[in-house]
Homo-oligomer: A and B are copies of this chain.
Amino acid sequence: MREVLGNIVRSKILNIVQQDINDLADLGIKAKLAVVIVGNDPSSKVYVRSIEKLCLKMNLLFSLHQIDASTKEIELFNSIKTLNNDKSVHGILCQFPLPINFKNEIVTENISPFKDVDSISPANIAKWATGKYSFIPCTPYAVLEILGHYNIQTSGKEIIILGRSHTVGRPLSILLSNPTFNATVTLCHSKSENLQAITRRADILISAIGKANFVTESFLKKDCTIIDVGINYIEDNTHPQKGYVVGDVDLSSVKDFPCNLTPVPGGVGPVTISTLLLNTLKAARLQLTR
């Protein structure tokens, strides 16, 4: 097994981000990302802290909008509307999952498509669903950038995707079978029969199901590339942080198998934050022309 690292892709993207920031500064614009969190989901908070840190490092404006889980949905609605109308804000990201008393539609139906940097509004979904995307959702975007950077052929190849979520598996299945990538894509899920026989066809296997150690050697074809999008937290009292994060792939099973693998951590994750900044700068440019 050979590791396909995310950091080198992230660095390349951040160079583009830096150039974009400079170009916008020449036009007197300082791009700003606003992040909305509802409640206290700990992994959301960890993720948002990494976004904030990277924005600070890149000199991109950042604001955090924390909403209490005990408030009413109207608070979230108002927050989204205020950010939509705030001319100093270019990108808006709302962290999911929301607490159960909040409907996702409060965000997806109301966020401005021009500031919707994770592409969750109906207008933007309709674009990526029909190959006319303006914003690619951040995690799928990171996967596409990794495939592109490492020059991993997609045209005519078989890509098997595990997991049909609306934020990762579904958009990737659509984007990768569009004419830009031209892959033959199969989308698998919990009800798929003969799963290992199907995944063994994959030139590229993308796992986004969030089950630790799910993908073993018997899922793989020789020389395939595995993109591990899983982020699974394993509690472990013997560990200094009382736990650690792993992907969907069972490393002990695949370590001697001839394949390429994006590790977790260090694979898709770090690239995702850089594609979020890329989308924020795209949003800033989009608002220039409105």
Contact = CB atoms under 8 A, between A and B. Distances in A.
Contact of A186 (B174, B178, B186): B186
A186 B129 CA distance: 16
Contacts of A185: 186-187
A252 interface: no
A208 to B, nearest CB: 14
A191 B125 contact: no
Interface string A183-211: 01111110111000010000000000000
Contacts of A158: 198
Interface in A95-143: 121-123, 125-127, 129-131
A133 to B, nearest CB: 12
Contacts of A182: 189, 191
A221 interface: no
Nearest to A160: B186
A30 interface: no
A128 to B, nearest CB: 8
Contacts of A177: 164, 173, 187, 189
A156 B192 contact: yes
Interface string A150-184: 00000111100000101000100110011100101
Interface residues of A, number: 32
A187 B166 CA distance: 18
Nearest to A125: B126
Nearest to A131: B166
A166 B130 contact: yes
Nearest to A113: B122
A184 B187 contact: yes
Interface string A222-247: 00000000000000000000000000
B170 A129 contact: yes
Contacts of A122: 122-123, 126-127
Contacts of A156: 191-193
30 contacts: A122-B123, A122-B126, A122-B127, A123-B123, A123-B126, A125-B125, A125-B126, A125-B129, A125-B130, A129-B129, A129-B170, A130-B166, A130-B170, A131-B166, A156-B191, A157-B193, A158-B198, A164-B178, A173-B173, A179-B191, A184-B186, A184-B187, A184-B188, A184-B189, A184-B191, A184-B192, A184-B193, A184-B198, A185-B186, A186-B186
Interface of A: 121-123, 125-127, 129-131, 155-158, 164, 166, 170, 173-174, 177-179, 182, 184-189, 191-193, 198
**A-B pairs, 6 with minimum CB distance:** A122-B126, A129-B129, A125-B126, A156-B193, A182-B191, A186-B186
